[in-house]
Structure 1
């Protein structure tokens, strides 16, 4: 069951060498931030308001669909977006997860930040590519942080998932190891690193927490089912460089 009491904002900032004007926060188990499937939407709204007030930002709340659409300063779509990019201060690019991989972005010099919700479907479809395209900067100067997600010891997929990745990137085979009865264990953070490296992003951090194996700290849809809550991962700029 989802928590029904407002608790102190858990979590912490991303561990990456971002510029001083870039801020981040990644929540853990505690306040449920997800409206989809929630049995207590009023409480979720309270949690969302509390996050915004605590961090002193205006978060962009997306309705995620495992796709590749990106919300930007010029295209303020919320429905059907799985990533966000902004050049405005005080705007929080935020994605929700409970096993999927959250990826936060910034640039070492340019005033731009972004966030992407990268489950295997979105990752394979190109959500990271679309996010970087929306940032419109030299990828060599981009930093990426991978948040908590289902780990390679817990993410078992069918052969069709592996084949889907191999069709567009043959080297993705190194992120899969054989399971039983024709199934495979997939390393979602490794797949993201391969995608980012192909795009020219080599400064990649995080990716070491598994939401299933560390379920006492993180929500996990695969372990908890539809009643699992959602964590929020947000990046914003406190001031222009």
Structure 2
């Protein structure tokens, strides 16, 4: 298995990683390190790939059934860690509990505070962003919003994310300068910048410390899965946890 190293300055007790598509046992079109059961990959291969991943973590990751919603699950000392809930973000103050988000074009977002006492992981597609998944996750955090730092993982880039008028309209209800994130095309569509949309939402809450390498899943087929590019494909994982 292989990881992609994201450039994000965080407290020493915060660990995070993003997997690539390489180094696992899944066969084409899921080659190689698919971590999702719901894409019709051979379940034995997914189990083997997750075992490889969990060997690199302090405990088994917490997974979600992602539904493009604004629902957040808070993991506490009393949580059933084997329960897979329908939601699109995870939050915890507990130590050594890896929070996992799966993506293949949607934007994975990591959050932590500057003291390293709380972390969040968000699956942010356009539906989740427009529904308020960032806002719902931030509501879990205690302390000043300006003390939160964020990191964007790989997602579909602004040159490849073509959307319709309905997507533009979905963001028109939000109190952000959303139009700058959309570029009209000659086909009557728009190119959307999902990185910028997420940044604008975070900025609204005073969060300006954002690591954003704008890694494009669509254009980097050697590293990342892309649903838009391949349709039938696997999923990467972005995982964050507090070590101590």
Q: CA deviation at 1:35?
A: 0.9
The yes-or-no answer on 1:104 pairing with 2:96 is no
CA distance in 1, matches of 2:42, 2:223: 21
Unaligned runs of 5+ in 1: 1-8
The yes-or-no answer on 1:159 pairing with 2:161 is no
**Contact preservation (8 Å) 1:155, 1:187:** yes
C-alpha RMSD of the superposition: 1.4
Match for residue 15 of structure 2? 23
Question: Are residues 236 and 102 of structure 1, via their aligned partners in 2, closer, same or farther at CA, if it must alter by over 3 Å?
Answer: same
Match for residue 187 of structure 1? 193
Query: Which is richer in helix?
Result: 1
Q: CA deviation at 1:170?
A: 5.0
CA distance in 1, matches of 2:213, 2:169: 23
Match for residue 3 of structure 1? none
Q: CA deviation at 1:93?
A: 1.1
The yes-or-no answer on 1:236 pairing with 2:228 is no
Match of 1:84 among 81, 86, 90: 90
The structure 1 segments of at least 4 consecutive aligned residues displaced by more than 3 Å after TM superposition are 74-77
The yes-or-no answer on 1:10 pairing with 2:2 is yes
Q: CA deviation at 1:211?
A: 0.5
Match for residue 204 of structure 1? 210
Q: CA deviation at 1:55?
A: 2.3
Q: CA deviation at 1:231?
A: 0.2
Unaligned runs of 5+ in 2: 23-32
TM-score, normalized by length of structure 1? 0.91
CA distance in 2, matches of 1:166, 1:47: 40
Match of 1:50 among 33, 49, 52: 52
Q: CA deviation at 1:79?
A: 2.4
- Offset from partner CA, 1:8-67 (integer Å, 9 cap, x none): x21234311100000001001121101112231121112112211122233101110011
